[in-house]
């Protein structure tokens, strides 16, 4: 017997879970997602979210309330008479009326090993902090921020050079499989719930533009973690001197390098090796504003950075 599910999600990360639940034979009563947003170079075209597009392909009705402050939106949710709400990166803090609006409550697919990295950017924060592992968890939602009891979890190793983009692509499929298993066990009345530990709570606050600039005055390991934690989006960046002044350049891949020097100074090869407060970091893939992402050697053909150049 299938569950009647309301699915709530917005980015590409959420799509595999939506598809997994539909393929498992559950009835998806409706999909809730963020409203279409202005996009394109001029911001004139409104683009539907990846979840919105996936739901339309599956023939599932889509709803896009700005929030649930209006009683009409809450009533519309309740009238769906769902067994459970499944939430994966929806993008709104849900009121209690929605969390309790389905018969069996709401379950969230969260990309961390709770209680570590509650909040908006757990993948990025885990890498930026140098964590060696993270994981996906299915938790029953409560009113607090990612505070509910955990039902299922799976650990995922973070490679020393893994970017947030690579971790994202792995975790979204782990999350889909885990949520599908959780719904089978919920339907059977066999889904365990374990309260989160009270110790070890950390918060993964939203990434701000102000923290994306690379600071070479930090140790090389921290610089490397910062770069890969922000790759490919929004992208950590620095400024490189050219004949026209300074060009902003995003760094999309890096690795620990060898050498010492004044922080921010280009060292003798290979490629683009930059001295940090201690040690050095190699910049492996770089992208100028409006340009293509290039491997270091290709980048240097168009923008030479001789040893002794200082990045700012």
CA distance 268 to 266: 7
Local structure of 79: helix, strand or coil = helix
Are 285 and 271 in contact by the 8 Å Cβ rule? The answer is no
Backbone φ and ψ for 153, nearest 5 degrees, come out as -150, 155
| Distance (Å, whole) CA 175 – CA 123 | 13
Annotated binding-site residues read: 112-115
Q: Which residues contact 174 (CB under 8 A, 6 or more apart)?
A: 136, 154, 156
DSSP codes joined into one string, 148-180:
SPEEEEEEEE--TT--HHHHHHHHHHHHHHHHH
CA neighbours closer than 13 Å in the CB half-sphere of residue 168: 19
Q: What is the DSSP string of 2-43?
A: --EEEEEE-SGGGHHHHHHHHHTT-EEEEEE-PPPEEESTTS
CB 128 within 8 A of CB 47: no
Write out the binding residues for (6S)-5,6,7,8-tetrahydrofolate. 112-115
- What whole-number distance in Å separates Cα of residue 137 and Cα of residue 118? 11
Strands 272-275 and 280-288: antiparallel
Q: How far is CA 192 from CA 143, 185, 188, 189, 196, in A?
A: 20, 9, 11, 9, 13
Alpha-carbon distance of 292 to 252, in angstroms, equals 11
d(CA 223, CA 295): 19
């Amino acid at each position: 017997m299938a569950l009647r599910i309301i699915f709530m999600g917005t980015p590409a990360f959420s799509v595999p879970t939506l598809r997994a639940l539909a393929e498992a034979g559950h009835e998806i009563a409706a999909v809730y997602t963020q409203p279409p947003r202005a996009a394109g170079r001029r911001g004139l075209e409104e683009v539907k979210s990846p979840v919105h597009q996936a739901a339309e392909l599956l023939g599932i009705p889509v709803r896009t309330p700005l929030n649930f402050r209006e009683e009409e939106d809450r009533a519309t949710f309740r009238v769906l008479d769902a067994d459970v709400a499944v939430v994966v990166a929806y993008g709104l803090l849900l009121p209690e009326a929605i969390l309790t609006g389905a018969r069996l409550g709401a379950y969230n697919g969260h990309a961390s090993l709770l209680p570590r990295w509650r909040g908006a950017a757990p993948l990025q924060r885990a890498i930026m902090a140098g964590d060696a592992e993270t994981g996906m968890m299915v938790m029953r939602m409560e009113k607090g921020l990612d505070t509910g009891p955990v039902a299922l979890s799976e650990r995922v190793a973070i490679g020393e050079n893994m970017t947030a983009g690579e971790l994202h692509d792995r975790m979204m499929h782990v999350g889909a499989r885990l949520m599908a298993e959780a719904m089978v066990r919920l339907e059977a009345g066999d889904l365990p719930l374990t309260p989160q530990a009270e110790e070890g709570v950390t918060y993964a606050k939203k990434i701000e533009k102000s923290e994306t600039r690379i600071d070479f005055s930090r140790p090389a390991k921290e610089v490397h973690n910062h770069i890969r934690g922000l790759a490919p989006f929004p992208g950590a960046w620095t400024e490189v001197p050219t004949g026209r002044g300074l060009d902003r350049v995003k760094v999309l891949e890096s690795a620990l390098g060898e050498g010492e020097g004044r922080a921010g100074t280009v060292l003798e090869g290979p490629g683009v090796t930059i001295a940090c407060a201690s040690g050095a970091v190699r910049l492996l893939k770089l992208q100028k504003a409006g340009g293509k992402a290039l491997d270091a050697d290709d980048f240097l053909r168009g923008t030479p950075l001789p040893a002794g150049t200082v990045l700012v």
